Amino acid sequence: MTAAASIASLIGWLILALAAVGTLYWAVATRVPARFLQEEKPAAARFEAVTLLKPLHGAEPQLEANLASFLRQTHKGPLQMVCGVQRADDPAAQTVRALQARHRGARIDLVIDSTRHGANAKIGNLINMMARAEHDIVVVSDSDMAVEPNYLAQVLAALEAPGVGAVTCLYHGRGDAGFWSRLAAAGPSYQFVVGLVFGKVMGLAEPCMGSTIALRRSTLEAIGEFEAFADVLADDHAMGAAIRAQGLGIAIPPMLLAHASAEQNLGQVWRQELRWAATIRALAPAGYAGSLIGFPLALAMVGCLFHLVPGLCLVAAAFAVRLFTKRVVDRHAAASTAPWWLLPARDAFSLAVFVASYFVRVVDWRGTRLRMEDDGQIVSPAETTSS
């Protein structure tokens, strides 16, 4: 055997070893959310006054239905929804007006304000919206989330626990725009949520996500309000870190929200996931590197190129475990995010994004290109050129 062949063989065995470790990891990790989500119990109706903040941008296939799900709650206290856009011609504004017309008994405010407060447009939107927020408890949630009627009751119950400064929520994926959106949605369902719960339970992660950040005004003021995060790309992560720095915890109630994916082509899925991946890599480089074992099916398929028979055996084992993951998540989500045959493509796509994320410094965010700085800040390339 030549030296080149020996090196290739060794690389193949290393890849298969990673696939084997990853398969074992998924077999263990999948059981953690299975137990965690079984703890869910119907929460009693709550009476606290709540302001929901919904920063919006552009049209989404199910935007009105997603927003309406936050109004159909068992919550009995005062509820205000503040929706914000930064342009009068944003199609989301018309969606909000339609929502107001269909839910005349609900308090729904629309803020249209183009004032910018930094590179992070979502945070700028929230800063503009806060002038209309009336209640002490503030719940920020991304526009692409949909919830069940007991959502607010469970969030408020978790926020009431001693030592809790904020509440965030897990979510599964839901494809709203055909094949590519279902490929995108399979990521949150069959990769992200399992790894996140495993990390949380094992003390390896302290997540705070845009799906929900519920907190009191006093806590928001203590961390510098939204203005403190105007130039941060991972604003939800940064808010979580600031809350923990106050000596407060972040609770996660045992429920799954629905995250709606609306990508219509491969390019949209690629840009969105590459931004997520590059952001996570910048925030936690060591942990992100270790997440390579999270793609065992894709690694096993690559290993087949070097060692066919052992590779095929690992492909079968990894595929069986990934099917187990799909079954667990689909059961708790009460819906199937994607068909079983999409799992190999989903894992292969995730591995490609993982590799590409190491070569990215500029990301695309809703049509705006932003350069990532080493300290987690973001600026536009134009700003870095002129400075």
| CA dist., res. 267 & res. 265, Å (int) | 6
DSSP annotation string for 232-284: BSSHHHHHHHHHHHTT-EEE--S-EEEEEE---SHHHHHHHHHHHHHHHHHH-
DSSP state of 190: I
344 and 313, same domain (yes or no):
yes
**Tens digits of per-residue pLDDT, 21-33?**
999 999 999 988 8
**Tens digits of per-residue pLDDT, 188-198?**
999 999 989 99
- Last residue of one domain, picked from the residues 238, 262, 286: 262
More confidently predicted of 23 and 6: 23
pTM of the model: 0.88
201 and 331, same domain (yes or no):
no
Going by DSSP bridges, is the β-strand pair 137-140/256-261 parallel, antiparallel, or unpaired? unpaired
pLDDT over 80 (residue 381): no
31 and 93, same domain (yes or no):
no
235 and 109, same domain (yes or no):
yes
**Tens digits of per-residue pLDDT, 54-75?**
999 988 889 999 999 999 999 9
- Sign of torsion over alpha carbons 273, 60, 234, 168: negative
CATH number for the domain spanning 51: value is: 3.90.550.10
310 and 247, same domain (yes or no):
no
Q: Specify the 3-state DSSP secondary structure of 135.
A: coil
342 and 199, same domain (yes or no):
no
183 and 325, same domain (yes or no):
no
The number of domains in the chain is: 2
**What separation, in Å, do the N-terminal and C-terminal C-alpha atoms of the chain show?**
56
- Last residue of one domain, picked from the residues 234, 262, 290: 262
70 and 205, same domain (yes or no):
yes
Q: Give the domain extent around 67.
A: 40-262
108 and 206, same domain (yes or no):
yes
DSSP annotation string for 320-344: HHHHHHHHHHHHHHTS-SS-GGGHH
- Last residue of one domain, picked from the residues 215, 231, 262: 262
14 and 95, same domain (yes or no):
no
276 and 206, same domain (yes or no):
no
